[in-house]
Amino acid sequence: MENQQFHTLLNAIENKEAVLGVVGLGYVGLPLAVEMVNQGFTVIGIDLDASKVESIYQGDSYIHDISSDELKKVMQSGRFQPTTDYSMLRVIDALSICVPTPLSENQDPDTSYIETVVDQIKLHMKPGMLITLESTTYPGTTEELIQQQLDKIGQEAGKDYFLCFSPERVDPSNGRFTTFNTPKVIGGTTEACLKLGTALYGKYVETVVPVSSPKVAEMSKLLENTFRSVNIAFVNEMAMMCDRMGIDIWEVIDAAATKPFGFMPFYPGPGIGGHCIPLDPMYLSWKAKGFRFYSKFIELAQSTNDNMPYYVLNKTSTILNEYAKSVRKSNILLLGMSYKPNIADLRESPGLEVYELFKESGANVSYYDPHADSFQDKHGETVYSEVFNLEQFKKYDCIVLITNHSDLPYFDIAEMGVPILDTRNAFRSYTHPHIYKIGHSVQHPVLEPSEALLV
């Protein structure tokens, strides 16, 4: 329904006079708020973490993709106001919800953060507000947790307020694709909602992709990440198979990738990490069960990926056996701990599970990560990164590479002579006999193709 509130908000968006709001100033919300400000909007950012709000005021960025210099520039514009006060919703014309959606201990979706925001919206919502949920969750969340709740207080979507879902597509540390140039899918609960949402995102996102409903938009995000989870699981299983057969999975993938059509390379590793890939498929599996549909692919992929840290432990044990040592009482150094290269993000990192498994096996395990200074183990104890020192690193019985950071001195580490288990093929340029890798049996030395021809 294109009523007066619709036209008032549309005009405010077109003229960049609308006050925008972002709830949740984490790795999704803060870059989004910064892009909004950069495109000329006034933005209010709400986060209950007072330390984040204070850091923003100080121009001290805690997000890898937003530099402190950029944040200071945004604050100097006078158009960004971070706060912990939800009552500021009363002056916001268009609100983006970017709060976490973790899994419970039972692997069920935990939507409590969204529910908290909705409770505050019910108390402080400005009439005619556009609400867009960006948090990744199961199909139906937008209608069930927002629309139905606002229905209970007499607020009708498309008339009294406007409601959309647009899944975040943030890829931390990706220098090529940013908030601005990553296409944005959006679905509205009514045609008027979709028009407003498309108009708004079109002001600070290069390409907006409208779809017929919030459920389609919600499902699209789950398809994207479930696709990755399933394919990573398949190649992880192939890596274990190749290990058993004495074939190098990395060479196999490189060879297959020369086919210019019909093949997309995925690579094995110690497991999957980050907020999206380990969690999103489980949202979908949980929702599907409500329709008496059981996804064997999703469950099997999750099981395979969850098993990779155990494979890393067993592989390390096999390597140590070559040196007449056992995991128990051995000194193990994990190289890298974040879930992907060149960032400090430890969310769901497989390295955390690998660390715990070595501890439980009686190893003396430490880690070094140039980006992640510390983490909390499962007992709540703080574990600090070792200081980089090649002489000290020589004392370890085995080094297990978890994260292939680009700023690690691979040559110097390779030259130490300490046995290395490479889970990312980061040492592919080195043929030292003490360097082993997943997806390749210990009994077979690592040879370059040119050397293999001479054998």
Give the residue numbers marked as catalytic. Answer: 276
Name residues whose C-beta falls within 8 Å of residue 227's C-beta, 6 or more positions apart in sequence.
none
Q: What are phi and psi of 155, to 5 degrees?
A: -100, 120
Give the containing element (helix H, strand E) for 281. helix 280-289
Distance of CA 8 to the CA centre of its chain: 37
What dihedral do alpha carbons 142, 144, 145, 151 form, nearest 10°? 100
The DSSP 8-state label assigned to residue 94 in this structure reads E
Q: How far is CA 19 from CA 45, 95, 96, 362, in A?
A: 11, 9, 12, 56
CB 203 within 8 A of CB 16: yes
Q: What are phi and psi of 244, to 5 degrees?
A: -65, -35
- List Cβ<8 Å contacts ≥24 apart for 108-113: 108/286, 109/137, 109/138, 109/282, 109/283, 109/286, 111/137, 111/141, 111/145, 113/24
What 3-state class would DSSP assign to 165? Answer: strand
- Alpha helices, H only, 77-142: 112-124, 141
Question: For the chain, how are helix, strand and coil distributed in percent, rounded to 5?
Answer: 40, 15, 45
113: nearest Cα among 215, 21, 23, 216: 23
Written as one string, the DSSP assignment of 349-360 is: -HHHHHHHHHHH
What distance in Å separates the CA atoms of residue 419 and residue 414, rounded to the nearest whole number?
A: 9
What distance in Å separates the CA atoms of residue 140 and residue 50, rounded to the nearest whole number?
A: 32
Task: Provide the phi-psi class of 23: left if phi over 0, else alpha when psi is between -120 and 50, else beta.
Answer: beta
What distance in Å separates the CA atoms of residue 114 and residue 117, rounded to the nearest whole number?
A: 5
